[in-house]
Amino acid sequence: MHDPALPSPRLSRKRCTTVILTALLFACPTIATRGLAGESARMTPTVRAVAQARPAVVNINGHKTVDGPDENGAESGPRRVNGMGTGVIVDERGYIITNHHVVDGVRRIRVTLADRRTFIARLINHDPVTDLALIKITANEPLPLVKIGTSSDLQPGETVIAVGNAYGYQHTVTQGIVSALDRSVQVTDAQKYDDLIQTDASINPGNSGGPLLNINGEMIGINVAVRVGAQGIGFAIPVDKAMNVAAEMMKLERLSGYWHGMEGNTTFDDGGHFVVSAVASGSPAERAGVKAGDVVTSIGKIQVHRALDVERAFLGHTSEDEVAVSVRRQSASEKLLVNLGKRGAQELSVDDRTWKYLGVRLAPVTADVFENNSHRYSGGLRVVSVRDNSPAARHGIRSGDVLVGMHGWETVKMSDVDYVLRQTQDADEPVKFYIVRGGTTLYGDMEPVWR
């Protein structure tokens, strides 16, 4: 039996522990702060930004064959080299944006995620003007996305962070500032970049195609180039331009043959809004009641902030689906239902259209034959006949020429030509073409006969 005036042994131990801890905290205040304030101090905005973006950053590797001098400047024939770069996931189904020079000529594009899973990607589209490419991997579950910011309000001096596969060291992080805006850089005789962000964040070989982040962890640029021989001078494509190009490369009509008929612009006030600028006559969007001036706020389950979101949201739907489109019109909100349509199902075939509008018939060139003759392009279409007095004939195009591009897009498949013809016909504008003849690239502007 215990004396009621005295505490029980169990209570004594608790009090004793409390007294000891209190004494330690007063005697050694760093113990009190190391677990809380110390950890908080380490979780800087940079750490949070990198942690937020890192799951959506991928490493890209592969082998390609190149011509020209080797790394020591000595002349050599075709040789196999290791390619490396970085990419960013922009759609949870595995669509990734990167630089085209990272994947150009790579037969097996190997993509490694932040969790170390590896996939083989296929090239979907690329834009030679900006050197951007869209590739795709197939995973069993939705993939993490990078948070996309805007480059419209960047300020010289603000903090930026580059993440990438620098020299093959995966997920290397460097930090710096925006050094300047609107830079033009001539990288090679064939490649010039305009309107670039200049930064002193270290951007090295392998960083190409990776994100340049702001301090909030939002992607505000795609790293693209480094000034050889100069420290602290790297460049990135502004994210607003990059995402507009990505939207074109991911356009529903190009990837699935369906279309919605909306064109629009992105405004970057209050997080970004997609404003419809035009609705094609007879299009699914017009039939659903979409009007110029509408602000599209969501399509299906996807919140819409820019043109890329529109294409992402419709991709995967068919004419059998009713896709919910929410718009803000003046001060009211409306919910419309869009049934996508197949573009041109009732029209001429693409072969007949190229013959009618341009005056050429085209045939695919096998990849092996093309690779043996040129390493600059990944494919093309051979001109097999030219109609007398046609636009093609008036511009000197001959049988045997290889059509490698139109309007900045590669023409590897007939569907590529079909897409460009539709775009230029809607705009009623000339067609810029690129052909290869005897190893030389020739180009010009052709006026199709649309009627």
Catalytic center residues: 101, 131, 208
Question: Which H or E element spans position 26?
Answer: helix 9-27
The token duo for 46 is 């940079």
Q: Identify which of 154, 127, 80 has the alpha carbon closest to the alpha carbon of residue 254.
A: 127
Contacts of 77 (CB under 8 A, 6+ apart): 67
Q: What is the DSSP letter of 304?
A: P
The token duo for 36 is 């809380």
Distance, in Å, from the CA atom of 434 to the CA atom of 195, rounded to the nearest integer, reads 25
Distance, in Å, from the CA atom of 184 to the CA atom of 162, rounded to the nearest integer, reads 20
What number of other Cβ atoms are within 10 A of residue 402's Cβ?
Answer: 22
C-alpha dist (Å) from residue 406 to 12, 223, 244, 254, 420:
86, 26, 19, 14, 7
Q: Identify which of 251, 250, 257, 254 has the alpha carbon closest to the alpha carbon of residue 342.
A: 257
Q: What is the DSSP letter of 379?
A: -
What number of other Cβ atoms are within 10 A of residue 412's Cβ?
Answer: 22
C-alpha dist (Å) from residue 379 to 171, 295, 367, 369, 449:
32, 39, 6, 9, 26
